[in-house]
Amino acid sequence: MDLANLNAFIAIAETGSFSGAGERLHLTQPAISKRIAGLEQQLKVRLFDRLGREVGLTEAGRALLPRAYQILNVLDDTRRALTNLTGEVSGRLTLATSHHIGLHRLPPLLREFTRRYPEVALDIQFLDSEVAYEEILHGRAELAVITLAPEPHALVKATPVWDDPLDFVVAPEHSLISNGPVSLADIALHPAVFPGGNTFTHHIVRRLFEARGLTPNIAMSTNYLETIKMMVSIGLAWSVLPRTMLDEQVARIPLPGIQLTRQLGYILHTERTLSNAARAFMALLDAQIDRPGIQG
């Protein structure tokens, strides 16, 4: 089975179009069509239904997709295993990370890694933590440094590196801090701007309210913490932010007895052979575990 044809098949399945697959693989649309025609001829089945501009997997295509991932992942594993025998730290390391961690935690580690291992080509993908999980599961990223899921997937190994305390925050002039002590029930009455409903941080905060029989008044949501901070700072709503982001633009709401935190760390696929480059980066991350005062 031709690997170039398989890559084209996966690209169409993921992008939903032949043109999108062509852009991803830097090929013309006719070249993509030719590869799929060759694969369909070899397998003697139709893999895509083409209805106008819409492209969808046929039943045969849906059956092939997980096997195509498996074939490419086995080949990648074989290449890494053979390359690892040399002991060299080189090649490409595909690293997924969230925007927040990429901005606030990783810069000194990336600087040290590139200094130690100049032969490694870093492919850094900035993704939501939840999307990074899928990249690891499908083998498109070797390592991800993200907000860890409360309940990780069975095929994902998660290693906590940093505790990331979360604080309730408002604008400095907001009534929630200017009128004396408040409770979680008081906060729930005011409009909030939350991380998106698909995020791990959203679920952490939501569970806190649900455990007390409360429902937060979510007026807005976004996945970008810097955007949340801006909306809080101008007085639109309250929110929850990592303590590392607090400054004079926002004010912390004291809530005695409530300590909210999330864990940041790295994940990898349990059935994937890691490259020497990935192991070297993991060693840098592991060195941070016993250094709680270090911040990026």
Interval 127-174: pLDDT, tens: 999 899 989 988 889 999 999 988 878 899 999 999 999 999 999 999
Do residues 55 and 132 share a domain?
no
- Which run of H or of E encompasses 193? strand 191-194
- Coil vs helix vs strand at 292: coil
Interval 220-234: pLDDT, tens: 999 889 999 999 999
- Coil vs helix vs strand at 162: strand
Let me know: does 268 contact 278? Beta carbons within 8 Å: yes
In a domain, 292, yes or no: no
Please, what is the Cα angle at 7 between 76 and 137, to 5 degrees? 55
pLDDT beneath 50, residues of the chain: 292-296
Let me know: does 147 contact 96? Beta carbons within 8 Å: no
Q: What stretches of the chain show up as alpha helix (H) in DSSP?
A: 3-15, 18-25, 29-43, 59-84, 99-104, 107-116, 129-137, 175-178, 184-188, 200-211, 225-233, 276-286
Number of domains in the chain: 3
Do residues 121 and 134 share a domain?
yes
Let me know: does 226 contact 109? Beta carbons within 8 Å: no
Do residues 143 and 271 share a domain?
yes
In a domain, 295, yes or no: no
Last residue of a domain, one of 13, 40, 72: 72
Query: Which of 168, 166, 161 has the alpha carbon at shortest distance from 105?
Result: 161
- Token pair recorded at residue 242: 């990592």
- Token pair recorded at residue 235: 């007085």
Query: Which of 14, 32, 129, 145 has the alpha carbon at shortest distance from 69?
Result: 14
Do residues 44 and 134 share a domain?
no
Please state the separation of Cα 22 from the chain's center in Å: 25
Interval 99-118: pLDDT, tens: 899 988 999 999 999 999 99
- Token pair recorded at residue 142: 């070797």
In a domain, 296, yes or no: no
d(CA 99, CA 84): 30
Q: Judge if pTM exceeds 0.75.
A: no
User: What is the per-residue burial (b if ≥16 Cβ within 10 Å, else e) of 14-45?
Assistant: ebeebebbbebbebeeeebbebbeebbeeeee
CATH number at residue 62: 1.10.10.10
| Residue 105 domain boundaries | 82-162+263-287
What pLDDT is recorded for position 84? 67
DSSP 222-257: -S-HHHHHHHHHTTS-BEEEEGGG-STTSEE---TT
Do residues 100 and 120 share a domain?
yes
What pLDDT is recorded for position 295? 40
Do residues 226 and 90 share a domain?
no
In a domain, 293, yes or no: no
What pLDDT is recorded for position 293? 44
Q: For 35, phi and psi rounded to 5 degrees? A: -65, -40
